Amino acid sequence: MKLDYELINNILTKFVESDQATVNIEDFVDLYKNDSQKLAHHLIIMEEKRLITGAYSHENLGIDLGYVDEKDIYEFSNDMLWRITSDGYDFAAALNKPSVLSEIKTKFQKEGLSVVIDISKKLQRSKQQSSLKSDTQNKRINSLASSLGQIHVGSWRCNGYCRFSSLRRKRTWNFSASFLCSQGFKVKASFQKQKTEPQSR
């Protein structure tokens, strides 16, 4: 049976979103009805990777292999409780990012769970660093443009305003400019200056 990372994400989501510290098979009725054997298989694999564990006893999920109608069938014990582990929380947080899960499903679907867990952490870390870098850059741009007025970082446009307090009569004009700031990135700006001239007597 192939690993289904969408199913693994759904399982972890039920653990994370539960109001209780523990869950049991009754919390997975929809997944159980859809394919009980697939659910059991993935729960066991997840337990082996320490993403989930038995609440009463480690390595005991209360899922036993039985023999029904000449077939090996996994059977669930209703009174067994499960809980998510710290590694499970980390993996759930990574998969909760839509772009991470999508990338795993398209590029790493055939990889084993250990590899995917490691990849998901790296993808999440990379996206977090990219987000922090973007936030830092935006703050620098805002700081740089504070003397010019308002700045719209998304379109790299600035509105500037200058005053000459010693002059009286005013005149305005617009102009565009681009410059390279000290941080090394280019800013395109559109300014409106206000100039005054002495009044004639």
Structure confidence by residue, pLDDT tens digits, 179-189: 444 445 555 55
Q: Which of 99, 126, 153 is the last residue in one of the domains? A: 126
The whole-model pTM stands at 0.62
Q: Are 96 and 172 found together in one domain?
A: no
User: What total of structural domains would you count in the chain?
Assistant: 2
> How far apart are alpha carbons 164 and 158 in whole angstroms?
20
H helix or E strand, kind and range, residue 120 = helix 113-145
Amino acid identity, residue 119?
I
pLDDT value for 69: 77
Domain containing 104 equals 5-126
Tens-digit pLDDT profile for residues 79-126 = 899 999 999 999 999 998 778 888 888 888 888 899 999 998 888 777
- Report the share of the chain in percent with pLDDT over 70: 62
Q: Are 28 and 120 found together in one domain?
A: yes
> How far apart are alpha carbons 126 and 113 in whole angstroms?
20
pLDDT value for 71: 84
Tens-digit pLDDT profile for residues 17-32 = 999 999 999 999 999 9
Mean pLDDT to the nearest integer, 38-56: 95
Q: Are 116 and 170 found together in one domain?
A: no
pLDDT value for 155: 42
Mean pLDDT to the nearest integer, 127-151: 57
Tell me how far CA of residue 110 lies from CA of 3, 12, 194, in angstroms: 8, 20, 63
| 136, part of any domain | no
| 107, part of any domain | yes
Q: Are 166 and 87 found together in one domain?
A: no
pLDDT band at 38 (very low <50, low <70, confident <90, very high): very high
Structure tokens at 54: 């038995």
pLDDT value for 56: 87
Q: Are 22 and 95 found together in one domain?
A: yes
> How far apart are alpha carbons 133 and 60 in whole angstroms?
44
Provide the 3-class DSSP secondary structure of residue 167: coil
| 133, part of any domain | no
